[in-house]
Structure 1
Amino acid sequence: MTLPGTLRIAYKLLTNDRGKFSALLVGITFAVFLMVQMTSIFAGILGRSSATVTNIGASVWIMDPAVNTVANTIPLPDYLLDGVRSIPGVRYAVPLYSGGALVKLRSGAYQAVSVIGLDDATLFGRPLLEQGNIQDIYAENGFIVVHDAEFRKLGSPGIGTEFELNDHRGHIVGIAKVSSGGLFGVPTLYTTRSRAIQYIPSTRYTTSYILVEPKNEAAIAAVKREVARLGYLALTREEFIRKISDFYKYQTGIGTNILLMTVISFIVGLSISGQTFYTFILENLEKFGALKAIGAKGSELVSMILFQAVFTALTGYGIGVGLCTALIFVAKMRLPDYASLITFGNLGLALGMVIRIAGISSYIGIRKVLRIEPFDIFRG
């Protein structure tokens, strides 16, 4: 028998019993759906946890070594900024303020916000504006609001909207857009660093981070060494994002919970598909025996079972990914702050799990088929 012929027979045997075939697809689809959904939520959380780092866009961040996340700021002494600026290889270095505050809206409601204070001289890290002029941030009480999923929590303000922050009057002079929304469900305001320090109570030191632009990539290693000699930590943008991700993966319950759900999804898919596929093999044992009696080799029977398992697994994988994508699309339309992101890593992990499910299921069937003897089939 030729290989295309055996595969055609395998396909007909697989799809002939629509009930069993549907059960196989449902088991794998459900497992893939859960795995992609859980890992996508985790990827979305990790992406939003480092939103400030992504939006500011500085090449190198200098911070206290105890900092774990961008929201967990530890003020830096004022002399450190001068020390960093004197390091060879530093093109320029600017301070950044990052903190939280409570604003009172014109409706009388209170809303927690995240306030980013940009360097007064350079406004380094400023966002792109949808409305307004960036120079208006220097106006009296000027703030820029980010137009993201949390924008409506401030009453969807427009240019000129006023609010109170610690008994100080503030007004919106611009509406900005950023590449990534925040994780903690609070709106974001940008202003100058001097105004942020004036409006928000702070400790003796007021610099949350020092943002550095090196002269070239080769200078980054030297900058890190000099900053370490001063007792502080310098990280590139990618390293800081990785540090934040590692914190949420290994030092919070988020990573453990997502891992458990992914493993449970794999076990559910394996149990359903493995049991159903084994039942399918038992019900078609006579047909495999007949094929063996008319000259089908063991390798051809193995290729038939592998084809059936892989075809079912990949079909279920495609349906599961499609359902998960559709659900995330609908959820983001209804819930703008829904944190979920499908990445190539999510898809690769789910594909690897599905291949393992197909491999274990086909191994169970192959052992059973290779043991049959045509004599036993015809004798029965």
Structure 2
Amino acid sequence: MEKARISSLQLFLLITGFLFGSTLILNPATGAKNDGWLAILISGAGGTLLLAVYASIALLNPSKTLVEILRHRFGRVIGNIIAVLYIWYFIHLASLALRNFGSFIVTTTYPKTPLEVIVGIFVLVVMYAVNSGVEVIGRASEILVPFVPVIAVIISLGILTVHDFTAFLPVLENGISPVIKASLNLLTFPFGETIVFLMIFPHLNKRENLKKVSTLSALSATGLFLFIFFRDITVLGSHLIYQATFVPHLTSVLIPGINLEPLFNVNLIIGGSIKVVICMYAAVNGLDQLIGANDYRKFTTAVATFCVVLSIWVYENIFEMFDWAENIWLYYSIPFQIVIPLMLLFLSLIKKGNPAHEKSIE
């Protein structure tokens, strides 16, 4: 494993930026229409618990990455099989985030530019960041991620005169079912995706801060999601927010006399790049630990190339992208985000006080 270390602030910013990620493009909370704020609150609470589970797994298995924990707790054979599945999951997640970013840029900003060109240029920057190491990634987050809430506030200030503060009423107009569905979707996208940080947690220089940092990150992202939701719904109304393709982008172009779309694109690039970088870094490090190559950079080019190809192939069009996020991702992700982590937590807890058993596994 890379020996570099990151600070608590850097981990906080990385998780927050990752959660922000491509949620601006595909926001499951809009499925609940004007009750989206309830879905955000419920999923935020669940996401905080999930991150606490992931942090607990890391603390019960100090200095071990997810791949090492899987082999340690499930045994080498079963652990390696599950590790391969997780590496695929990280690669798939990076590819989906690449496609989200590429589809948005092609649809809204550069309609005459081929998707392959947008994704290819973007992934070159990602490769450079991954090869630079986790310490450089952490330092970059200190510079870039603070712009995310600042830009969100700037866009909000520009539309203060256009609002309807009753747009989210009445509460539960369509019943509880849409809220529950949107909450579960938002729980797995993006909160559950932070399982990838089990490949990053061992780099934290102060392990005792891990749970605090994870909790604050989840709460901060939830607060930002709520802020953006109320901003968008008071401007667009519940019907338009449900029908629009890219809701926050639509809000950013409504300000009369000024074009704030570039600011929105900056936010998207920051969040999207952090998400893809973290997923790709986790994937190549997982491969390195699985094979024992002693240098994860050997896999970066191959994994990045595969991600580009997969991102272009995975959807026929933008409607399939939205359908996957809303109707399939939840069921696809549950084993990776909830079932296996809970099993790992259980095994780590019951074996915590048995040094002889721990030694025999080693």
**Which of the two has higher C-alpha Rg?**
1
TM-score by length of 2: 0.24
Please state which structure has a larger fraction of its residues in helix. 2
Please state which structure has a larger fraction of its residues in strand. 1
Bigger RCO (CA 8 Å, 6+ sep): 2
